[in-house]
Amino acid sequence: MNAVAPLTGEQVRAYARDGYLLLGSEFLAPDVLAEVKGAVPMMLAEDGPRRVLERDGRTVRSVYGVHQTNDVVARVSRLPRLLGAVQQLIGDGVYVHQSKVNVKAPFAGDQWEWHQDYINWLRCDGIDRPDLVNVAVFLDEVNEFNGPLTFIRASHTEGILAGSDNDGMPAGYEEAPSWTATLTATEKYQIRHDVIADLANRGGLVNAKGPAGSVLLFHPNVLHASAPNISPFTRGVLLLVYNTVRNPPRASDPRPDFLAARDLVALAPLP
């Protein structure tokens, strides 16, 4: 296992209890943020299936598989403190199952409906267990105005919640490949409002806010959403989804490699 173990025992327990953990901007070195932000324009400029637009057909929503195409992101995924924190939460022997840059553009960045991430990886990728962790690096300040992630505390302890498969393609994406249905503002696997209300009344809602450079870890089953960006400020986030090598995808008809990585070799930390 990686010798670097940056999380305290209390932080590990808080993640297990709440389903998320927000670390300050001091967790990563300042030059890491500057490097990633400097690489974002190149990632957004790629014109291909990795890049998903908002419903307006113009504004970039997300770019997927960035750890496969960008050397800066590939290095960030192997930073000892980041990799060490992930290994403290889900064990050693991890790889990046999925990565993306989410850009909530000023005035145009759309919502993400209430959802759990793991149901997509279970049903679309054939990953048997929720032994994954999401790592979000804030590329800009995230505040109450630009669409922060909103969590329901401890909702990950409920397992996979009652949800229905939203058949067909969302409005604005009718001509897109079928796998695009899991990437848009309209969630493919809908969760009933009464289920959300019950969990919110029990666990409460919390917005994950912080300065650029903050690092957010969250469980793949924690219920979360985010509102549109109503501000004039960008809200960019780099997301890395780590999975254990003991929990490989087994889908018979796998999604593209940039959504479900085929390289399952355990990552080694940078020197």
pLDDT tens figures, 66-89: 999 999 999 999 999 999 999 999
State how many domains the chain has.
Answer: 1
| H helix or E strand, kind and range, residue 80 | helix 80-90
pLDDT, mean of residues 154-162: 92
Beta bridge partners of 189: 165
Mean pLDDT of the chain: 92
Residue 35 domain-assigned (yes or no): yes
Residue 268 domain-assigned (yes or no): no
**pTM of the complete model:** 0.92
Pair of tokens at residue 16: 């297990």
The 10s digit of each residue's pLDDT in 96-145 is 999 999 999 999 888 889 999 999 999 999 999 999 999 999 999 999 99
pLDDT, mean of residues 230-252: 96
Residue 4 domain-assigned (yes or no): no
pLDDT at 94: 97
pLDDT at 93: 95
Tell me the Cα Rg of the chain: 17
Q: The tokens 């057909």 sit on which residue?
A: 57
Cα–Cα dist 25/67, whole Å: 21
Is residue 114 within 8 Å of residue 199, measured between CB atoms? no
Cα–Cα dist 66/262, whole Å: 14
What separation, in Å, do the N-terminal and C-terminal C-alpha atoms of the chain show?
15
Cα–Cα dist 66/41, whole Å: 12
pLDDT band at 170 (very low <50, low <70, confident <90, very high): low
Lowest-pLDDT range, 112-116, 165-169, 258-262? 165-169
pLDDT band at 178 (very low <50, low <70, confident <90, very high): low
Cα–Cα dist 264/245, whole Å: 6
Residue 250 domain-assigned (yes or no): no
Residue 116 domain-assigned (yes or no): yes
pLDDT at 171: 59
- What's the CATH code of the domain at 223? 2.60.120.620
Neighbours of 71 (CB within 10 A): 10
CA-based diameter of the chain, in Å?
Answer: 49
Q: Dihedral of CA 252/217/80/38: which sign?
A: positive
Residue 97 domain-assigned (yes or no): yes
Strand positions, DSSP E, 193-234: 205-208, 215-218, 224-226
Beta bridge partners of 238: 101, 137
Residue 1 domain-assigned (yes or no): no
Residue 268 has φ and ψ, to the nearest 5°, of: -100, 140
pLDDT at 55: 85
pLDDT, mean of residues 22-43: 95
pLDDT band at 46 (very low <50, low <70, confident <90, very high): confident
Residue 3 domain-assigned (yes or no): no
Pair of tokens at residue 145: 């105005």
Dihedral (C-alpha) 80, 84, 85, 89: value to the nearest 10 degrees? 160
User: Is the pLDDT score of 1 beyond 60?
Assistant: no
Residue 152 has φ and ψ, to the nearest 5°, of: -105, 115
pLDDT at 65: 97
The 10s digit of each residue's pLDDT in 180-212 is 666 655 677 889 999 999 999 999 999 999 999
Helix (H, G, I), strand (E, B) or coil at 73: helix
Measured in whole angstroms, how far is the alpha carbon of residue 49 from the centre of its chain? 18
Cα–Cα dist 162/37, whole Å: 38
Which of 67, 101, 94 is CA-nearest to residue 183? 101
Domain that holds residue 143: 9-244
Q: Is pLDDT larger for residue 178 or for residue 212?
A: 212
